[in-house]
């Protein structure tokens, strides 16, 4: 089982906790590889696992990881996420990768104020519920009519 974790790097502590929780359930976290900040460049944070990598390559790798994941876990404490997360959700949905969140996102915020959020992210109570939902999705997709 593989996942990619998405969320604002304002919440690196929560992302790190999610990485450890997923790993505790035997889930491989494809991205991010770590949460230790090693550099900044024009509002872009480079993390330990991205050492010596160009920003475009970091972003491309993250999108590739989303496509290779069994699910995406969105980290958005208090319902907050930004434009980059919205893009990542869109990439997951376009690749038919389920997106789960433990704190319901209420709205996307941009410089001009709130924007409505889509209904394609499933709110769950924790990793066990994600695993249960993925099992149900797999069973439903293997039913022969």
pLDDT single digits (tens) 30-64: 999 888 877 777 667 777 776 666 777 888 889 99
Torsional sign, CA 112, 39, 56, 51? negative
Greater pLDDT, 48 or 6:
6
The mean pLDDT of the chain is 82
Residue 76 belongs to what domain range? 2-141
To the question of pTM greater than 0.85 for the whole model, the response is no
Alpha-carbon distance of 102 to 124, in angstroms, equals 5
Based on the structure, what is the number of domains in the chain? 1
CATH value at residue 61? 3.40.50.450
Greater pLDDT, 19 or 106:
19
Nearest partner of 30 among 77, 88, 80, 81, judged by Cα: 88
Average pLDDT of the segment spanning 123-136: 91
Question: How high is the pLDDT of residue 113?
Answer: 46
Question: pLDDT tier at 106 (50, 70, 90 boundaries)?
Answer: low
């Amino acid at each position: 089982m593989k996942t990619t974790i998405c969320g604002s790097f304002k919440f690196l502590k929560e992302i790190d906790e999610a990485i450890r929780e997923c790993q505790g359930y035997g889930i491989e976290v494809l991205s991010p590889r770590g949460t230790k900040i090693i550099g900044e460049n024009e509002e872009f944070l480079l993390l330990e696992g991205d050492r010596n990598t160009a920003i475009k390559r970091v972003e491309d790798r993250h999108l590739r990881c989303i496509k290779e994941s069994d699910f995406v876990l969105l980290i958005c404490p208090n319902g907050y996420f930004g434009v980059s997360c919205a893009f990542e959700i869109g990439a997951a949905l376009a690749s038919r990768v389920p997106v789960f969140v433990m704190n319901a996102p209420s709205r996307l915020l941009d410089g001009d104020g709130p924007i409505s959020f889509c209904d394609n992210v499933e709110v769950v109570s924790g990793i066990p519920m994600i695993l249960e939902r993925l099992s149900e999705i797999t069973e439903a997709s293997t039913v022969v009519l």
